[in-house]
């Protein structure tokens, strides 16, 4: 249950919240209210403003404008920068039930049947490994198919954790027990080690989405809860890179709170799950 106590010392009023939210929606493409309750955002914003000793919403907006780090700090307070296996379960069900069967169908006629996925901004690996588990299960009776999952992030430490593939029970909120039993082994230190058959399906590499070239010949890109870090012009640049990275008909999946710009580059496949296809 959310705590309703007002935070003493911050003057931000509920009506002011709309201005901050509107600023974040327009400038950053993040619609926080699509995923978070209003009261939750209001209380977290008050906490952050108190931490940086800014008690006026207009001053806080200018702080975000002048200091890109501050926006990330606010996202940290909202805990947007977390990850877990099968985060937003519906998106992974959509991948399993709609996207993957479509990719398989399209490749049936080809000699080389390779499904190529890119998890861009993969953090500590839960997203690409979730995709690998789904693909492993789906291709169990299709021995002539291969999957190549490239997972990239700017954060080398997160990539090292991803390669280690040891997780805590808290990462498994959305995971069926059967899958945990099948693909993880409980270690002596209470962590769960992912099996090599899934680990070997994912290739991790460091990649800065802003300054590095994209991965190419991709069938589906998952770039979820990453765009929130970027301003609109940077998002534009990345959407262009994703357009180049995808093969014809390739899919792009973004985060629940995120918005796609450049509507001529992609067409919407499922608005609720934020799934798009290269135009
Ligand atoms: C909140 S996590 C998203 C993890 C996963 N995609 C998910 O939705 O659960 C955001 C990730 O984006 C990465 N990131 C931020 N800026 C980046 C950049 N310029 N290039 C590549 N990755 C970046 C961060 O290091 C972080 O691991």
pLDDT for 21-55, tens place per residue? 888 888 777 788 876 778 878 888 888 888 899 88
147 has pLDDT over 90: yes
Alpha carbon of 152 to ligand 1 centroid (Å): 9
pLDDT band at 5 (very low <50, low <70, confident <90, very high): very low
- The CB of 257 under 6 Å from ligand 1? The reply is no
Alpha carbon of 18 to ligand 1 centroid (Å): 27
105 has pLDDT over 70: yes
Most distant pair of Cα atoms in the chain: their distance: 67
Torsion over CA of 88, 93, 94 and 100, rounded to 10 degrees?
Answer: 130
Q: Is 234 a member of any domain?
A: yes
Whose Cα sits closest to atom 25 in ligand 1? 155
- The CB of 225 under 6 Å from ligand 1? The reply is yes
Alpha carbon of 143 to ligand 1 centroid (Å): 33
CA 247 to chain centre: 21
218 has pLDDT over 70: yes
Q: Mark which of 39, 56, 78 sits at the end of a domain.
A: 78
57 has pLDDT over 50: yes
Q: Mark which of 51, 78, 105 sits at the end of a domain.
A: 78
Q: Is 1 a member of any domain?
A: no
Report pTM.
0.81
What does the pLDDT read at residue 7?
43
Q: Is 201 a member of any domain?
A: yes
Cα–Cα distance measured from residue 230 to residue 29, given in angstroms and rounded to the nearest whole number: 9
Whose Cα sits closest to atom 1 in ligand 1? 81
Shared domain check, 46 and 101: no
154: Cβ contacts below 8 Å, ≥ 6 apart: 121, 206, 207, 208, 209
Alpha carbon of 4 to ligand 1 centroid (Å): 31
What does the pLDDT read at residue 119?
98
Cα–Cα distance measured from residue 218 to residue 127, given in angstroms and rounded to the nearest whole number: 16
- The CB of 229 under 6 Å from ligand 1? The reply is yes
Residue 157 vs residue 161, higher pLDDT? 161
Question: Which tokens is 242 given?
Answer: 């994703």
Alpha carbon of 14 to ligand 1 centroid (Å): 30
**Span 104-132, average pLDDT:** 95
Q: Is 5 a member of any domain?
A: no
Q: Mark which of 59, 78, 97 sits at the end of a domain.
A: 78
What does the pLDDT read at residue 142?
93
**Span 201-223, average pLDDT:** 94
Cβ pair 221, 245 in contact under 8 A: yes
Alpha carbon of 184 to ligand 1 centroid (Å): 24
Q: Which atom of ligand 1 is nearest to the CA of 158?
A: 27
Question: Which tokens is 114 given?
Answer: 């390779």
- The CB of 210 under 6 Å from ligand 1? The reply is yes
Question: Which tokens is 70 given?
Answer: 């501050």
69: Cβ contacts below 8 Å, ≥ 6 apart: none
Q: Is 29 a member of any domain?
A: yes
- The CB of 121 under 6 Å from ligand 1? The reply is yes
183 CB burial (10 A radius; 0-12, 13-18, 19+): buried
Shared domain check, 168 and 33: no
Domain span at residue 68?
A: 14-78
100 has pLDDT over 80: yes
Q: Is 8 a member of any domain?
A: no
- The CB of 174 under 6 Å from ligand 1? The reply is no
């Amino acid at each position: 249950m959310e705590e309703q106590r007002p935070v003493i010392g911050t003057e931000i009023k509920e009506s002011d919240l709309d201005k901050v939210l509107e600023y974040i929606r327009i400038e950053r493409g993040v619609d926080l209210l699509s995923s978070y309750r209003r009261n939750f955002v209001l209380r977290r914003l008050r906490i952050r403003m108190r931490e940086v000793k800014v008690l006026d919403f207009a001053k806080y907006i200018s702080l975000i404008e002048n200091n890109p780090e501050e926006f990330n700090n606010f996202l940290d307070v909202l805990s947007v920068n977390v990850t877990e296996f099968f985060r937003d379960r519906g998106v992974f069900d959509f991948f399993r039930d709609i996207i993957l069967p479509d990719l398989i169908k399209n490749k049936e006629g080809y000699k080389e049947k390779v499904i190529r996925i890119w998890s861009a901004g993969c953090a500590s690996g839960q997203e690409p490994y979730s995709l690998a588990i789904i693909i492993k299960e789906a291709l169990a009776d299709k021995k002539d198919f291969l999957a190549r999952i490239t997972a990239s992030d700017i954060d080398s430490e997160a990539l090292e954790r991803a390669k280690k593939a040891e997780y805590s029970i808290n990462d498994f909120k959305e995971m069926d027990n059967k899958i945990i039993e099948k693909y993880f082994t409980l270690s002596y230190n209470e962590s769960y080690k992912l099996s090599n058959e899934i680990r070997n399906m994912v290739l991790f590499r460091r990649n800065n989405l802003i300054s590095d070239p994209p991965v190419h010949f991709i069938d589906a890109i998952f770039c979820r809860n990453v765009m929130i870090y970027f301003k609109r012009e940077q998002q534009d640049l990345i959407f262009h890179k994703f357009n180049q990275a995808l093969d014809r008909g390739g899919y792009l999946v973004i985060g629940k709170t995120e918005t796609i710009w450049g509507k001529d580059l992609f067409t919407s496949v499922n608005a609720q799950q934020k799934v798009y296809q290269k135009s």
